[in-house]
Structure 1
Amino acid sequence: MKRFLSLAALAATLVSCESNSPEITETEAMKPQKIVVYQVFTRLFGNTNTNNKPWGTKEENGVGKFNDFTDTALEEIKKLGVSHIWYTGVPHHGVIGDFPEIGVSSDDPDVIKGRAGSPYAVRDYYQVNPDLAVDVTKRMEEFEALIARTHKHGMKVIIDIVPNHVSRHYEGKNNPEGVKDFGADDDTSVEYARDNNFYYIPGEAFQVPEPKNGYQPLGGKKHPLADGKFDEVPAKWTGNGSRLAQPDFYDWYETVKINYGIKPDGSKDFEELPAGADSLDWKKHYEFWQGKEVPDSWRKFKDITQFWLGKGVDGFRFDMAEMVPVEFWSYLNSHIKNTEPDAFLMAEVYQPALYRDYLFNGKMDYLYDKVELYDTLKNIMYGHGSTDYLPAIFESQRDIEHHMLHFLENHDEQRIASPEFAGNPWKAMPAMVVSATVSTSPTMIYFGQEVGEPGAEDAGFGDPSRTSIFDYIGVPQHQKWMNGGKFDGGQLSENEKALRNYYSEVLNFTRNSPALMGEYMELHSFNRSQNPAYTNKAFAFARWDKSQKLIVVTNFDEFQSVKTTLKLSPELLKAWKLEKGERELKEVMFGKKKTVLRVTDTGAEIDLDFGPWESAVFEVK
């Protein structure tokens, strides 16, 4: 039975150390609150077109705009319980299509994935994707207006920054005064130099990868630039680190790797952090980097993030952060925090052994909990996993639980409702309850998840089960909720409306429950050892703070009900100081169940009667 130190207790400890600080009353202090992130693929959100032609143009399949995020749309997102919106795909990335009114020509289909292009192959960091604007000459103004609308509705704005790589066709047409393009001052005669922005393959020209599995750019449709060639001399290293002039088809061939002062032999060409830096706050990290010589790429990305903070962006999602040295993150994130101390910084790191380095030395706020929690919950939803694996995950993350972003969908993962995954969106509801309530960490959902979007369309590049990030396409379930711009769910079935309401109840409860920012104790192991009727398809734990005590119970079983008793561990009874007797417990997340808690000299237990996929949160008063 393990416990996490509550944020409230930690805050109290820190406050007590400040003996000269004025007393802060509870009403004056900002109470800790769960964060809920809504990831939305900006290009797809407002698209009402239902043609869904594979490899279709935006004229054929439609494209969403910044302006589609109306006040009504944003208010409905807010009502889900959302605190932050991650607008995916905002910076100008590679795209097939000309924009003559702004002097932007089409990218080459030979080095673009899909027709609409990958949002992770950024072409110009100082401008937004012209596809997203109604008036491309005022595209930045339209995004600034979206930032303002989002803030008006009480939510914060997150955008992507992709420091590991940029588009093969990077072209900074909107650089602020004094800012030079990536590679503008590079010495291309050498593989590596510290202040080069790219790595080079001197004496060799880039060659387009040999296609596999019958692939043809744009699905074989004609385009004047689709000739199997792309002019790049000398060739650059590819984004995933390939050092070949002709990368493999499955390499990130549409991108080029950024040089952060890591030599080709892996050694570092910059000053490293001192011993003990992991215990220092961002202010000390910021001080450390003052006056230090750093690689040019570091300064370029510092300038980029400062530019977007100046536009009103509240934080960043960093793509593939573990492929960039942690010292750079210390430098970048401490500069971001120096400008905006409350900036929200989340990142992809998929190696658990690196989590603490990127959190404490790299000064990230939040990391994806993909490899441990998401993958385990996915296996349970598949039907061949066990909840017995969950306690060890939460125990191993005791010191970092607040920093591990929980999710069940994002743009990289399969849609829950797809037949390749769960095939039924309701199958994920126990996992959603656990994911959202088990820790103090943020919860993230992906647009369409809340209405059971299966990602079944063949958009062109890539396979169904994931909503395409590469092509112009509609998102059918989401379009039903949009209802032609009314954003009222008018075309959803009753079952789909119920699903969205379920998400809303879960997320709003987590936002407003003080216990979920408090302490945790798992009850699973105790019940598995004491009660044969409590199986590895159930999971139970306690959450509490000084004002609220909760018991969370879930049943992951698709077919079997749970009719047994949940035993409270001696450790929990001691922590809660429960008096002997019998009391009624009300379910407080959904408000549909009641049960009885009995406390005797020999222990305490709660009656459970749960159907398949059912969850409940009982409050103990």
Structure 2
Amino acid sequence: MPTSANHKLIIYQLLPRLFSNTKTTNKFYGSIAENGCGKFNDITGTALAGIKELGCTHVWYTGIIEHATMTDYSAHGIRPDDPDVVKGRAGSPYAVKDYYDVDPDLAVDVPSRMVEFEALIERTHAQGLKVIIDFIPNHIARTYQSDAKPSSARDIGEDDDTNQAFSPKNDFYYLPGQPFVVPQGYNPGGDELDSPLKDGRFDENPAKATGDDAFTANPSINNWFETVKLNYGVDYLNGHQTHFSSPPPLWYKLLDILRFWAAKGIDAFRCDMIEMVPVEFWAWLIPQMKQQFPSLLFIGEAYQKGQYANYLFSGQFDYLYDKVGLYDAIKRLIRNEDHATTWDINAVWNYDCRGFDERMLRFMENHDEQRIASHDFAGNAWLAIPGMIVTTTLATGPVMVYFGQEVGEPASGAQGFSGADGRTTIFDYWGVPEHQKWVNGGQFDGGGLSSEQKQLRNFYCKLLNITAQHEAINQGEFYELMLANQHSEGFNERVYLYMRYTPEQRILVVVNFNRFEHHIHVQLPADLLTKFNLSGQVVGTDLLSGTEHNIADIAQGIPLALPPVSGVLLKF
């Protein structure tokens, strides 16, 4: 469970490749030389202080582990990857090539890349921030081969019997007698890449099953064809029979890998696609890791609501994603979609996450989701203000911000393998234009931001710091006020309201998703007024604006005029 003093994790996600890149060329499918690449060393104490200023407690460094790439590092003794099984010039951070190494793209001095990353861990901790990195347990790159593993370690797949389609002793699944076939029509690196390895073929015989459970030698371009599925002892082609009587060899290999990283000072692992890995593995792994590293946290990417409790309680995860619940409900409201109401928010904590709402990680952006400011989502970063207030203050569980979100980065245009889909690329070398205005040539002072962008960042800074500093939000209880107000004057199904409180502090949260000013007379139930010893004239202060609200008689309700897409945090 959380170890930060305010009992709530506030996570800032960034890709070092993109975060500190100051180059603005942004050539479609451009090389690292053309488009540039951020480095570990570029994430300075000043940059980290800027993240700390937002109120953050943790930094999730995405894309740290060495992954397959179209960039050639053979001069440094690193075996080149075949571009026919790499997505994007830079490659996907989720196609790990060596679990015991870091991405050479991120180093100023490639042979010293691990030393540079270790220095980044130290700088992060020096700012009072904790470090999160990815653990991708379901799949690895087709070109996986560790040249940095300890001499005592056996490599993944090294001892496999490739004549067997399935064996609990194998680390991979095989298709005996069938060679792998590169997806037809794939043009790696676009027309920009000229490489002798780019020939439409990849030598893998027998073919291995693909990462997204495609048991075929001919995956499509829409499959995770650049990855191979890891074998946890589940026989997928024979009714998903499990072979867990003794842990398969892969389990021990992954345990050793996590111990390697935790020993470097990693504070938490964000675990990719955990539902594609048997819960029994997590129940075996996590307690062992916590026994050795008691403060270590595990955050799971999860999408199946019916399995949440299983992975939290049997699997021992500290936190899970809440994408298909709160994120989806709020996105519909922000987009002003027909039939979207704030009752959908009630359904999340009251049904989907009942009994463990405080263990759900909430966000409005991450590397998988569309940017709020993109035309694919809202087209305007300010439309997310009420959603971000709810995302941040609804419960004591973690909240996450994606780099550039706080200045309205829209992720415009196609970048290479990543198309024009409203997402910032994770596959390509790229500069992130609006975020670069905050980076300001490496000064990290926001010197290039417009006044409106500065206002937006100030909103995020204020909201997240309120969350960090006020116990009612970061460790208090929740009191739902929708039912008590559904017949009140001005009630509207695109307004949401609740109370967060401790014995010493009460904060009323009211947000307006409507795109027009809305007036509401908030009623606090008699039992709540008694509980808080509130009566007669009361003064409440909006923590976001500093505005005081003089309430003549709180028993008669609280009149509020809410601007379009706005909210208040009224502290009594």
The answer, yes or no, to whether TM exceeds 0.5 is yes
Cα 1:242–1:70 change in 2 (3 A) is same
Is 1:437 the counterpart of 2:393? The answer is yes
Secondary structure class of the residue paired with 1:376: helix
Choose the corresponding residue for 2:31, options 32, 57, 77: 57
Tell me which amino acid in the other structure corresponds to 1:37.
Answer: I
Cα displacement (A) at 1:531: 2.1
State the distance in 1 between where 2:76 and 2:552 align. Answer: 68
Partner of 1:242: 214
Could you report, residue by residue, the CA deviation over 1:342-381 in whole angstroms, capped at 9, with x for unpaired residues?
A: 1121011100000000000111111000001000000000
- Whether contact under 8 Å (1:96, 1:116) holds in the other structure is yes
Partner of 2:189: 218
Could you report, residue by residue, the CA deviation over 1:120-155 in whole angstroms, capped at 9, with x for unpaired residues?
A: 000000000000000000000000000000000000
Partner of 1:568: 524
- Whether contact under 8 Å (1:111, 1:208) holds in the other structure is yes
State the distance in 2 between where 1:472 and 1:437 align. Answer: 35
Partner of 1:393: 348
- Write the mapping of 1:458-477 to structure 2, written as runs, cut at 5 A: 458-464=414-420, 465-477=422-434
State the distance in 1 between where 2:93 and 2:74 align. Answer: 21
Choose the corresponding residue for 1:334, options 271, 284, 287: 287
Per mean C-alpha deviation after superposition, the further-off stretch among 220-229 and 296-305 is: 220-229
Cα 1:145–1:195 change in 2 (3 A) is same
- Write the mapping of 1:39-118 to structure 2, written as runs, cut at 5 A: 39-118=13-92
Partner of 1:20: none
Secondary structure class of the residue paired with 1:217: coil
Secondary structure class of the residue paired with 1:60: helix
Is 1:500 the counterpart of 2:454? The answer is no
Choose the corresponding residue for 1:251, options 220, 223, 228: 223
- Whether contact under 8 Å (2:6, 2:468) holds in the other structure is no
Is 1:154 the counterpart of 2:128? The answer is yes
Secondary structure class of the residue paired with 1:378: helix
State the distance in 2 between where 1:391 and 1:572 align. Answer: 19
Is 1:312 the counterpart of 2:286? The answer is no
Tell me which amino acid in the other structure corresponds to 2:188.
Answer: P
Structure 2: state its 5+ residue gaps.
none
Partner of 1:610: 562
How many equivalent residue pairs? 564
Tell me which amino acid in the other structure corresponds to 2:407.
Answer: V
State the distance in 2 between where 1:319 and 1:339 align. Answer: 22
Per mean C-alpha deviation after superposition, the further-off stretch among 509-518 and 393-402 is: 393-402
State the distance in 1 between where 2:302 and 2:5 align. Answer: 29
Tell me which amino acid in the other structure corresponds to 1:410.
Answer: N
Tell me which amino acid in the other structure corresponds to 1:438.
Answer: L
Cα displacement (A) at 1:598: 2.0
State the distance in 2 between where 1:157 and 1:609 align. Answer: 41
State the distance in 1 between where 2:126 and 2:195 align. Answer: 43
- Whether contact under 8 Å (1:73, 1:487) holds in the other structure is yes
- Whether contact under 8 Å (2:4, 2:57) holds in the other structure is no
Secondary structure class of the residue paired with 1:39: strand
Could you report, residue by residue, the CA deviation over 1:300-336 in whole angstroms, capped at 9, with x for unpaired residues?
A: 1100000001111111010000000001011111121
Cα displacement (A) at 1:577: 3.4
TM (normalized to structure 2)?
0.96
Tell me which amino acid in the other structure corresponds to 1:432.
Answer: M
Choose the corresponding residue for 2:409, options 453, 474, 492: 453
Tell me which amino acid in the other structure corresponds to 1:587.
Answer: D
Cα displacement (A) at 1:593: 4.6
Cα displacement (A) at 1:619: 1.2
Structure 1: state its 5+ residue gaps.
1-6, 12-28, 272-292
Cα displacement (A) at 1:564: 2.7
State the distance in 2 between where 1:459 and 1:599 align. Answer: 54
Partner of 2:444: 487
- Whether contact under 8 Å (2:32, 2:71) holds in the other structure is no
Partner of 2:232: 260
State the distance in 1 between where 2:16 and 2:187 align. Answer: 27
Cα 1:216–1:101 change in 2 (3 A) is closer
State the distance in 1 between where 2:552 and 2:50 align. Answer: 38
Cα displacement (A) at 1:248: 1.6
Choose the corresponding residue for 2:371, options 409, 415, 418: 415
- Whether contact under 8 Å (1:595, 1:608) holds in the other structure is no
State the distance in 2 between where 1:459 and 1:31 align. Answer: 40
Per mean C-alpha deviation after superposition, the further-off stretch among 419-428 and 175-184 is: 175-184
- Whether contact under 8 Å (2:6, 2:469) holds in the other structure is no
State the distance in 2 between where 1:88 and 1:174 align. Answer: 20
State the distance in 1 between where 2:343 and 2:537 align. Answer: 30
Secondary structure class of the residue paired with 2:478: strand
- Whether contact under 8 Å (2:539, 2:548) holds in the other structure is no
Cα 1:593–1:462 change in 2 (3 A) is farther
Could you report, residue by residue, the CA deviation over 1:4-24 in whole angstroms, capped at 9, with x for unpaired residues?
A: xxx9xxx9xxxxxxxxxxxxx
- Whether contact under 8 Å (1:595, 1:606) holds in the other structure is no
% identity of equivalent residues: 46
Secondary structure class of the residue paired with 1:501: helix
Partner of 2:172: 198
- Write the mapping of 1:249-328 to structure 2, written as runs, cut at 5 A: 249-264=221-236, 265=238, 266-271=240-245, 293-328=246-281
- Whether contact under 8 Å (2:418, 2:428) holds in the other structure is no
Is 1:587 the counterpart of 2:539? The answer is no
Cα displacement (A) at 1:102: 2.5
State the distance in 2 between where 1:413 and 1:176 align. Answer: 36
- Whether contact under 8 Å (1:346, 1:365) holds in the other structure is yes
Partner of 1:290: none
State the distance in 2 between where 1:30 and 1:453 align. Answer: 29
Partner of 2:551: 596
